Structure 1
Amino acid sequence: MIRFGVIGVDHRHIYHLIDGLLQAGAQCAGYLASASDAKVLEGVRSRFPQLRGVEDAAVLLEDPSIDLIVTAAIPSQRAGIAVQAMRHGKDVLADKPGVTDRAQLQQVQAAVRETGRRFAICFSERMIVPCVATARRLIAQGAIGDVVQTLGMGPHRLNAAIRPDWFFDISTYGGILVDIASHQIDQFLVLTGSSDAEIVHAAVGHVGHAGHATPPSFQDFGEVALRSRTNAARGYVRVDWFTPEGLPTWGDGRLFITGTEGSIELRKYLDIEGRSGTDHLFLCDRQGTRHIDCRDEPITFFQELVADVRDRTETALSHEHVFKVCSLALDADERARQGAAR
């Protein structure tokens, strides 16, 4: 049985990382019972009362029975935790972003080469969203021909009053394109079948929120345009922190996929004036248009990752893909900053 330990419970994404691994049959050996956000730590305790909290990360790092370290620490700390874990003989699963600057990416890449351990990032807006899995299956079946373009939108609710201080510090969260847009960059590469791409435009901004004193360095809007280096596909990404309070979920995540013979629209988290529930897919092809409820589409990421740890394979995702997404997100961030400086 694969055993995992948790170091870094600073972001709520840790809930689905732990739950996904448990559902996949892995066993949790414990979690480091400290966090920058006490509410998240309490959430782990209440959701997983059967799990053991430990006071020292060394307890988990030095346990030879642990195969995998999982982290949703403060984003700028995730790479350091990953490198330390790999040097202790553990594989790593990190929440996105796994790195927040170029030096961290190089350190993680070097640790992978030196240790032979695996480093994976959960890009949750693809990996745990059933309608994206359905879209991948339909594209593989030729439902819309060759993918020409993806348009991904990742709006989020700010919830400023409950955010920890690091959330607003660009040195710790890494910038909106590194943080949020990594999801859409991942989806662009996967859905277009691209192994490489280039950033042709990137911009970020601080618009500000009425009633919330967010610092000027906090990026609440970002956009990216991509071009595949391996086929003719292009992509556009828009991310922001402007989800209104009236929306009944944290963001109206949407993805449009244009193909040579049809199109797919995903409404991941809600259909704002229509059908109830999540995971709505709208397909338009030569036969007409139709809605597909994707909530029963199997999610296989965690099962595949557990098998990868056990069998030393790269089924869930490859290092090449992980590092390419990270590099492109950093490229976009650097291009946006250069544009802002002109």
Structure 2
Amino acid sequence: MTRRLRFAAVGLDHRHIFHLVGENVAAGAECVGFCPETSDNRVLDGFRERFPDLQSLERDRLFDDPTIDFIVSAAVPCDRSAIAVRAMRAGKDVMVDKPGATLLPQVAEIEQVAAETNQIFSICFSERFVVRACEAASRLVAEGAIGRVVQTTGLGPHRLNRAIRPDWFFQPERFGGILTDIASHQIDQFLHFTGSTDAELVSSAVANHATRDLSDFQDYGEILLRSASASGFIRVDWYTPDGLPTWGDGRLFLLGTEGFIELRKYVDVGGRGGTDHLFLSNREGTRYVDASTEPLTYFHRFQNDVRDRTATAMPRDHALRVTRLAIEAQRNATVLS
């Protein structure tokens, strides 16, 4: 009989904590409690509404409990690395929201502690792992439906929702900047779908076009990546209009040697209802795939990795490689006027 894993939530600062907990429970693990410390009481209230039976416990008790197998966290981005390091030193694996860190020294420390403790450090890149269309695309690419993927274009628009954002959201030293934060999703997808183990940062740029009263904030970013076998373009922004019925028209284009795939992850502006729309064109023709029932696999695979000490959810160094590239893109970005 497969042992049921136990986990706890530490860092309730972003709403992504809802799926970190919910999807792990759905995958079979038991959430034994959460630390109620937060920078945004709306997140805490939403958490308690979704998980009314979970026990609120002091952070130290959760780290010190030897029966807890892993910690999940959606803390303020600049605080995530310290939580991960403490958890790993306490003998627990870690799943954090993106970005996993905001500074290169934090990445180096996570890497060192993970190596010393043999604990798993994983980032839940929700724009891939909680998007069923991405799961379907991964399956189709693995089956050879479009040949070898040689280029990706990832678009990550978001709605700003300025009035309900916590203070740290507008402080680059705390959330990392638009490329460190949002574009980590698209970097992850580039490496995954092209089968690249690393990439070169060719260029990056950021801008503040629409929020000039927030002098340190950036509402637009772009990156050009190149690996040994593929190239990728990334565009992220905070311009989603109020008239769009969701928080962003996230899209991914995969160009293969024998066809291409387009994902309209959250909305089809062409008129189809729902989410998870996939369009495939190859030698057999062109077809639409409703991917809304495609199974999510990351959380099951992560839990199997915790039990078996394997790396099926993502390659062991993938999370930190993505984080490094995102931080370097942010640090080296040209500032557009």
Normalised to the residue count of structure 2, the TM-score between the two structures is 0.97
| CA distance in structure 2 between the aligned counterparts of 1:124 and 1:328, rounded to whole angstroms | 18
Superposed counterparts of 1:186-265, under 5 Å? 186-209=188-211, 214-229=213-228, 231=229, 233-265=230-262
Note the C-alpha offset of 1:319: 2.2
1:309 aligns with 2:306: yes
**1:340 aligned onto 2:321:** no
1:121 counterpart letter in structure 2? I
Which position in structure 2 is the counterpart of 1:41? 44
What is the one-letter code of the residue matched to 1:269? Y
Q: How does 1:268-287 map to 2 (within 5 A)?
A: 268-287=265-284
User: Counterparts of 2:218 and 2:127 in 1: how far apart (Å)?
Assistant: 20
Q: Report how far residue 248 of structure 1 moved.
A: 0.5
CA distance in 1, matches of 2:81, 2:95: 11
Deviation at 1:296, TM superposition (A): 1.0
Matching residue's letter, 2:13: D
Letter in 1 for 2:27: A
Give the one of 181, 184, 189 matched to 1:182: 184
CA distance in 2: counterparts of 1:67 and 1:196, whole angstroms: 30
Aligned mates of 1:20, 1:297 — CA distance in 2: 15
Confirm or deny: 8 A CA contact 1:31 1:51 kept in the other structure.
yes
| 2:205–2:336 contact (8 Å) kept in structure 1 | no
**Alignment RMSD (CA, Å):** 1.3
Equivalent AA in structure 1 for residue 50 of structure 2:
R
Task: Tell whether the 8 Å contact from 1:223 to 1:238 is kept in structure 2 after alignment.
Answer: yes
The one of 5, 8, 20 equivalent to 1:17 is 20
Secondary structure of the equivalent of 1:317?
coil
Counterpart in the other structure of 2:161? 159
State the Cα distance separating 1:255 from its structure 2 match: 0.6
Instruction: Give a deviation string over 1:7-27, Cα, whole Å, max 9, x none.
Output: 100000000000011001101
**Equivalents in 1 of 2:147, 2:69: separation in Å?**
41
The separation in 1 between residues aligned to 2:140 and 2:46, in whole angstroms, is 37
TM-score by length of 1: 0.95
> Do structure 1's residue 326 and structure 2's residue 323 form an aligned pair?
yes
Contact kept in structure 2, 1:24 and 1:303, CA below 8 Å: yes
Structure 1 range deviating more: 150-159 or 29-38: 29-38
In the alignment, the residues of structure 2 paired with residue 291 and residue 199 of structure 1 have an alpha-carbon distance, to the nearest angstrom, of: 33
Moved over 2 A (4+): 339-342
- Could you say what secondary structure the match of 2:223 adopts? strand
Distance 1:69 1:152 in 2: 30
- 2:317 alignment partner, SS class: helix
- Asked if the contact 2:159/2:247 (under 8 Å) is kept, the reply is yes
Cα pair 2:221 2:236 within 8 Å, conserved: yes
Quote the offset at 1:214 in angstroms.
4.9
Give the superposition deviation at 1:33.
1.1
SS in 2 for 1:319: coil
The equivalent residue for 1:28 is 31
Q: Secondary structure at the match of 1:340?
A: strand
| Superposed displacement of residue 273, structure 1 | 3.2
- Secondary structure (helix, strand or coil) at the match of 1:64 reads coil
Indicate if the aligned counterparts of 1:168 and 1:214 stay in contact, CA closer than 8 A: no
Amino acid at match of 2:180: V
Task: Give the paired residue count.
Answer: 334
Q: CA deviation at 1:340?
A: 3.4
- Name the residue aligned to 1:110: 112
Shift of 1:308: 0.8
Contact residue 261 and residue 280 of structure 2 kept, 8 A: yes
Secondary structure at 2:332 match in 1: helix
Cα drift, residue 335 of structure 1: 1.6
The residue number in structure 2 matching 1:296 is 293
Q: Which runs of 5+ in 2 are unaligned?
A: none
Alpha-carbon displacement from aligned partner over 1:177-232 (angstroms, at most 9, x marks no partner): 110000000000010011011010100111124xxx75111111000000013x2x
- Give the fraction of aligned pairs with identical amino acids, expressed as a percent: 55
